[in-house]
Structure 1
Amino acid sequence: MSPVNTVRGAVDSADLGRTYMHEHIFVLSADVQQNYPGEWGDEETRVDDAVTKLRELAAQGVRTIVDPTVLGLGRYIPRVQRIAEQVPDLNIVVATGCYTYEDVPFFFRHRGPALNAVVGAEVPDPMVEMFVGDITDGIAGTGVKAGMLKCAIDEPGLTPGVERVLRAVAKAHLQTGTPITVHTHPGSRTGLHVKRVLCDSEGVDPRRVVLGHSGDSADVDHLSELAEAGFVLGMDRFGINLDTTFEARADTVVELCRRGFADRMVLSQDASCYIDWIDPNVMAFLPQWNYLHIDKEVLPYLREHGVTDDQLTTMLVDVPRRVLAGD
């Protein structure tokens, strides 16, 4: 088996165990947090709360989570290291990349390819070097190496900024072999753009790409088309039932399993210990959106509706291991 980078160092992919492929620890607006620290509150309280929640997750038998928190989501690895040290039964795989739905962050707007017309030649994108460095050398001097690449394409579609990030992520993947997770908007079929740019144009193997948030759609025919193309479908927002229902999310997984696509799906919740994008009062309307929901409610429902234990193991153990390690 191949090694996989985690916060505490590389682990053998055979030891990843049950893996949730899309769980955040903190999702934060860095400028707000730095300039209005009262919003965050006490650092030790936040860290202790995260340790408690992740220990509860590990107690359910989950052995690994992928935290796809990158530029644009408030990634801060030293804090994650502190937490990981106190939850020794849980592997945490962190990511590198850039999260945007439209333009690149201002830092990149007048660097790299943006200068091609000015200098009359092709200028390398600094994102590629940054992402590769996070994977090969470690992040911000922490020694923690990223084990996943992350980008996004949402309802605005394939804007020039989004395409630039997709291509930078693809190039970093081809240099390092690190798998990719893409935030997608299945309602507008953005997975097809991912296929065209990452795979058809850049040459990325779709088997190493997770199309995140595929479970936001109940269009099983469209999801089947993506699975048949080789992609891994991220059924990874269990508990977020504002525009859909628990049953719709779960029934989509049931039907895809019935169609033979258990080996093209991963399960997760896209939960976090704290996300400052949402007024805390709103969380009362999302009682199932937490790390423990899959084990407590999703898996029993899937079993009751015909999903076998072998299929669950495939989605929770085998597919994550194959994506992360390329095994």
Structure 2
Amino acid sequence: MAKIRTVLGDIAPDQAGVTLTHEHIRYAYNGFQNDHRQIWNVDSLASQIAPAVKSGRDDFGITTMVDMTPPEIGRHPELLAEVSRRSNTHIIATAGFFPQVDGMGIPYHWRRMPIDYIAEELARDITEGMVYDGKLTPYKVGMLKAASGGLSTKQAELGVGGRHIGFYEDRVIRAVARAQKLTGVTINTHTQPMEYKQRNPGIELLDLLEEEGADPSRIIIGHAFVHPNLDQLLAICERGACLQIDHIGIPWQHDSADELDELIADAVCGLADKGYIDRLVFSYDRFFSYVHGAPGEPDLLNENVPVGYIFESFAPRLEKKGFGKAELHKVLVENPRRLLAF
């Protein structure tokens, strides 16, 4: 029987409801664990985060969120579980890695491991539970993450196999594909938006995942709508993969949310007109808690988007273009329900 795996246990697909497929309950850079200014406890942090998540459920019907935070950038199993309990919201955790960019991403331990070893450990996150601080927790994963790309100011260099994917990224992406074959869980992805101005990094990532036997119908390409190019988006859909419309209300690499929202809305309607509405999911990429890199660092755009922005601002924009309530239900309920079930 198909199920969706949340941190508090499996649910039936029809229990998922409105689902955001790429959020971050807590986002932190590796190394914060040894910072005197970053001492915290689950109870107090959950009490800060849960009200915003609960507001999403109570006020806008957001029943399920996928937390796309891998371990090296702050995934904390008990915090995810406690926020889920306090907000009455289903939270789905992720196994995988951020790209090896500017010292972030794949930790040295994992760079040393064989691909099959990594794949088996990712699968164990799904089947047995996440490990934290040397201990096995009862909280399991329901999504896999594959990631590629350079910095927003720098294109990724040409790497393994003629792709703009580095040596260690290539290995862990292959491991993610193999973990999917072991478990059947969907793969969600990070690509660098600026790179779509030069080529189609979503296709490069798909090529590598499929080379290892991943199912394209269970792959979501993320961040491809920050600089939307309809031909590139159609090429991804034609390969059988899905697209995540994220950064709604977050003007990443743009001057304003209004500017980006209009570009995204046109692309969404263009894809729907071409018959690809069943390949779309929506999200913010919101940081509900973010560990700042230095004292006085300003809030990021990801921290400030209102949890109801999709419903209060973006949906009316879409509706003016002919993308109404039935279409919104498709991308917020039906499509994620299908992708999360395994």
TM-score between the two structures when normalised by the length of structure 2 = 0.85
CA-to-aligned-CA distance 1:225-261 (integer Å, 9 cap, x gap):
1111111101011122042322222222222222222
Counterpart for residue 141 of structure 2? 146
The runs of at least 4 aligned residues of structure 1 exceeding 6 Å deviation read none
Q: Tell which deviates more after alignment, 268-277 or 287-296.
A: 287-296
Residue 22 of structure 2: SS of its match in structure 1? coil
Counterpart for residue 123 of structure 2? 132
Tell me, yes or no, if structure 1 residue 108 matches structure 2 residue 110. yes
Question: RMSD in angstroms over aligned alpha carbons?
Answer: 2.1
Counterpart for residue 47 of structure 2? 48
Give runs of aligned pairs for residues 1-327 of structure 1, distance below 5 A. Answer: 2-32=2-32, 34-39=33-38, 44-59=43-58, 60-88=60-88, 90-102=89-101, 104-112=106-114, 125-140=116-131, 141-155=136-150, 156=156, 157-186=164-193, 187=196, 188-199=199-210, 201-244=211-254, 245-276=260-291, 282-283=298-299, 289-326=305-342
Residue 21 of structure 1: SS of its match in structure 2? strand
How many angstroms apart in 2 are the aligned matches of 1:66 and 1:7? 10
How many angstroms apart in 1 are the aligned matches of 2:213 and 2:303? 41
How many angstroms apart in 1 are the aligned matches of 2:85 and 2:264? 34
Q: What's the % identity of the aligned pairs? A: 29
5+ residue gaps, structure 2, are: 151-155, 157-163, 255-259
Query: Structure 2 counterpart of 1:311, which letter?
Result: E
How many angstroms apart in 1 are the aligned matches of 2:302 and 2:208? 35
How many angstroms apart in 2 are the aligned matches of 1:151 and 1:323? 16
Shift of 1:39: 4.2
Q: Is this contact kept in 1: 2:269–2:323, CA < 8 A?
A: yes
C-alpha change, 1:44 and 1:175, in structure 2 (3 Å) is: closer
How many angstroms apart in 2 are the aligned matches of 1:314 and 1:97? 27
How many angstroms apart in 1 are the aligned matches of 2:40 and 2:107? 27
Shift of 1:288: 5.7
How many angstroms apart in 2 are the aligned matches of 1:40 and 1:29? 14
TM-score between the two structures when normalised by the length of structure 1 = 0.89
Q: Tell which deviates more after alignment, 237-246 or 23-32.
A: 237-246
Shift of 1:285: 5.8
How many angstroms apart in 1 are the aligned matches of 2:268 and 2:292? 28
Query: Structure 2 counterpart of 1:229, which letter?
Result: R
C-alpha change, 1:325 and 1:48, in structure 2 (3 Å) is: same
Q: Is this contact kept in 2: 1:8–1:144, CA < 8 A?
A: yes
How many angstroms apart in 2 are the aligned matches of 1:76 and 1:4? 20
How many angstroms apart in 2 are the aligned matches of 1:292 and 1:143? 31
C-alpha change, 1:233 and 1:5, in structure 2 (3 Å) is: same
Q: Is this contact kept in 1: 2:222–2:246, CA < 8 A?
A: yes
Query: Structure 1 counterpart of 2:79, which letter?
Result: R
Shift of 1:41: 5.9
Query: Structure 1 counterpart of 2:170, which letter?
Result: E
How many angstroms apart in 2 are the aligned matches of 1:262 and 1:312? 10
How many angstroms apart in 2 are the aligned matches of 1:42 and 1:126? 32
CA-to-aligned-CA distance 1:84-129 (integer Å, 9 cap, x gap):
11122x11111111112357421123332xxxxxxxxxxx542112
Equivalenced residue count is: 312
5+ residue gaps, structure 1, are: 113-123
How many angstroms apart in 2 are the aligned matches of 1:76 and 1:91? 16
Shift of 1:206: 0.7
Q: Is this contact kept in 2: 1:96–1:134, CA < 8 A?
A: yes
Residue 64 of structure 1: SS of its match in structure 2? strand
